[in-house]
Amino acid sequence: MYLYHLLVLTFMFGGLWIFSSKREHLLSVLLSLEFMVLCIFFIFYFFLSFSSIFYSLVYLTFAACEGALGLSVLVIMSRTHGGDYFKSFSFY
């Protein structure tokens, strides 16, 4: 049981490390965010599987909506700026 917690936390910190270090492309940022979302889902599923699975399904619904929103931002950014580079993005 402690090995499961250690494994999920290792995956979570790995996703956080990728999110903070590989910020050049929007696609790699979105993939690391989805990886962290799946790690949080595994934590929810483990702790809530004994009482109710409803909350973990609600969380998966919101995660799917977040993923669809991220992909739509990626498509719009690649159409307007020609790619998913953050360096070509102008904030002013």
80 to 40, 83, 88: CA distances (angstroms): 33, 8, 11
What's the Rg (C-alpha) of the chain? 16
Domain residue limits, the chain: 2-81
- What is the CATH architecture assignment of 2-81? Orthogonal Bundle (1.10)
pLDDT in tens, 2-34: 787 788 888 889 888 988 887 777 888 888 888
Q: What mean pLDDT value characterizes the chain?
A: 81
* pLDDT given for residue 92 in this prediction: 44
* pLDDT given for residue 69 in this prediction: 92
pTM (2 decimals)?
0.77
pLDDT in tens, 43-88: 887 777 666 777 878 888 999 999 999 889 888 888 887 777 766 6
